[in-house]
Chain A
Amino acid sequence: MALLELHGVDAFYGRVQALHGVTLEVDKGEIVALIGSNGAGKTTTLRTISGLMHPAKGQVIFDGQDITFTDAAKIVQLGICQSPEGRRLFARMSVLDNLLMGAYSRSDRANIARDLKHVYELFPRVEERRSQIAGTLSGGEQQMLAMGRALMARPKVVMLDEPSLGLAPILVETIFAVIKEINDEGTPVLLVEQNASKALSVAHRAYVLETGVVAKEGTGRELLESEDVQKAYLGM
């Protein structure tokens, strides 16, 4: 059984159905990419997993436990952490406070201090800015902080929503390098991206969402070489 599984999930915004029977899984040690165009349901899928919304039908199973209707706060404690779309930093709190908020649901002080050090190693820029308030960071620094904050929860799965959005190409490289590094340390990553070629090249496996339906799945390489995907998402 995989670490995180979605089975036939239907989700609605009011009366509009955003997901139609989405089934996917993330296993230990994997980077799984979720690609698709705007409004395909990528963010909705993440919100359903992290408990910010609950599906009308289907199941979300994490570590063998049904978390379909579990509270967001509880899900964080179980070990799923999300770096949300648009980063959603706490703009008027300091960088350090943002990172500590990431560790909010933990009480193991000594380990938190160690993880803080680790995040600073991954993102030296974040350490330089630790007493600055988050809203004054540049876009790239904010993205690094958002990822660092997600890591501070010491998650069993980390979900990144559009980490490369709006960043300069050189920063996109840095961000993806760190995603690989996080994964090499053993944390599975569920990655939502519009930058499909970048995402597919780092992902072990990937799913293509189209208007709320999983249209295609396969290894990163398979999808990268697939003609449909190239046409629709890679602009070739």
Chain B
Amino acid sequence: MISTLRDPKALRRRLRDWSRDPNMIVYGVLLVGAILFPPIASFATGTNTLTGLAADAGVWVLLAIGLNVVVGFAGLLDLGYAAFFAIGAYTYALLASTQLGSSPLHHAVHLPFWFLLFLAMFVAASAGALLGAPTLRLRGDYLAIVTLGFGEIVPRIFRNDPGHFTGGINAIGNIDQPTLPVCVDGPWSRGDDLHLNFGLANCSFSITDPTAYYVLMVLLIIACVILVSNLQVSRLGRAWAAVREDEVAAAAMGVNTRNIKLLAFAIGAAFSGFGGAYYGAKLSLVSPDNFDFTVSITVLVMVVLGGMGNIAGVIVGALAVYFLEFKFLTDLPRNTHALVDAIGLGPLLDNSNPATGWPGIEDFVGRLNFLVLGLILVLMMLLRPQGILPSRVRAQELKAEGAQDDTVFDQRAGQT
């Protein structure tokens, strides 16, 4: 890797590895899918609701990429990841709405979205470093418990609203919509909206339009993937992996383990802050209820299910879990109703008989939603414990375990 750029042979080898890397195929498919999705979805349904949903899914992809740095690269179990998401969202909500006008400050602040996107990232990263500094000497379970506590505390602070800044349970609404930065503003935009009509009738790009959010999100994700992929193979990425594998040995190699872990925490939090600001802007509403424990767990599930440590896998995992939770399971009661109706099991639909107490199939399935989700997740982990797209290392390890069984024994033999 070191002499790659100077040595043509090494460069060729790297290019060859690159083209054989199955992740490249996944990235390619994802990119093509991302480009084709909006026109197909709007053609099929006539609206761009699906595109909006996909843009929301992008937020989760960002979160999963960020948590993957903490959990997958550095091996630190973080159960309070939603806290940084909340911090990012509230940073945007407070500084781009009338909220601070009714706070003790008495001055509404309206900073531009593009600036706040990076400010939110920075604030969340600082919060990550602040939390990490005293807690990262803890390991494994203990770190998980502390982060769990942090994840509960932060949304609660926003909810309890000390000092009347955050609006508490009333949430912050009416948050500013992003406008285009001056540099890309021009004759093609009308006021705040960007209208590009690529010769297609039903395809107008406007920044208040879900499609614009979608495009923005895809660009953000591409930037983040490039950034994180480079981090992974850098000296820092190697140090993370070393700390994950064996902290003492890493220290013996000269790694400052505390700083390295802190950096993982801060960088992971930064992505969360990034996602938070975007989320606040798109929803135009930031409420403390959006950041509870289930958010942290869902992101963790995305990372583990997708293939911890492998960025492409984590993206696929995030999309799969998002689809499961927010599309498949949300539509399941209605679809079951339709199905039962179609095959002529009419009595199952009846919820009007108080004697039986039967709530009707639609309601019944609705109540079982989380059971179904749990079952699907358990099944997937049983069938594919390494994740949908495992990291290269994990794949090789599993292959080797099958081929020669003495390796594990050998490795432990010397440890007395």
> A residues engaging B (CB < 8 A)?
38, 50, 52, 71-73, 76-77, 81-82, 84-94, 96-97, 100-102, 104-105, 109, 112-113, 116, 132-133, 135-139, 142, 149, 153, 162, 165-166
A144: shortest Cβ distance to chain B, in Å? Answer: 13
Contacting residues, chain A, for B408 (C-beta < 8 A): 135
Contacting residues, chain A, for B413 (C-beta < 8 A): 139, 165-166
Query: Which bracket fits the contact residues of B?
Result: 35 or more
Given contacts A76-B253, A82-B252, are A91 and B245 in contact (CB under 8 A)? yes
One of B248, B251, B397 near A136 (C-beta < 8 A): B397
- Structural contact, A113 and B254, CB atoms closer than 8 A: no
B343: shortest Cβ distance to chain A, in Å? Answer: 50
- Structural contact, B411 and A76, CB atoms closer than 8 A: no
Given contacts A104-B239, A112-B2, A133-B396, are A84 and B252 in contact (CB under 8 A)? yes
One of A136, A138, A153, A165 near B254 (C-beta < 8 A): A153
Question: Is B110's CB within 8 Å of the partner chain A?
Answer: no
Residue of B nearest to A100 (CB): B238
B362: shortest Cβ distance to chain A, in Å? Answer: 47
Q: In the bound complex, what is the Cα–Cα distance between A86 and B415 (angstroms)?
A: 4
Contacting residues, chain B, for A137 (C-beta < 8 A): 407, 410
- Structural contact, A149 and B253, CB atoms closer than 8 A: yes
Q: In the bound complex, what is the Cα–Cα distance between A101 and B397 (angstroms)?
A: 20
Contacting residues, chain A, for B411 (C-beta < 8 A): 87, 89, 91, 135, 139, 142
Q: Considering the complex, which residues of chain B in the window 335-368 have a beta carbon less than 8 Å from any beta carbon of chain A?
A: none
- Structural contact, A90 and B407, CB atoms closer than 8 A: no
- Structural contact, A93 and B416, CB atoms closer than 8 A: no
- Structural contact, A76 and B254, CB atoms closer than 8 A: yes
Contacting residues, chain B, for A102 (C-beta < 8 A): 253
Q: In the bound complex, what is the Cα–Cα distance between A127 and B204 (angstroms)?
A: 57
Question: Is B3's CB within 8 Å of the partner chain A?
Answer: yes
- Structural contact, B407 and A93, CB atoms closer than 8 A: no
- Structural contact, A76 and B2, CB atoms closer than 8 A: no
Contacting residues, chain A, for B416 (C-beta < 8 A): 38, 85-86, 165
- Structural contact, A52 and B3, CB atoms closer than 8 A: no
Q: Considering the complex, which residues of chain B in the window 383-416 have a beta carbon less than 8 Å from any beta carbon of chain A?
A: 393-394, 396-397, 400, 404, 406-408, 410-411, 413-416
Contacting residues, chain B, for A89 (C-beta < 8 A): 246, 249, 411
A190: shortest Cβ distance to chain B, in Å? Answer: 14
Given contacts A138-B406, A142-B410, A142-B411, are A93 and B245 in contact (CB under 8 A)? yes
Q: In the bound complex, what is the Cα–Cα distance between A93 and B309 (angstroms)?
A: 12
Q: In the bound complex, what is the Cα–Cα distance between A105 and B254 (angstroms)?
A: 6
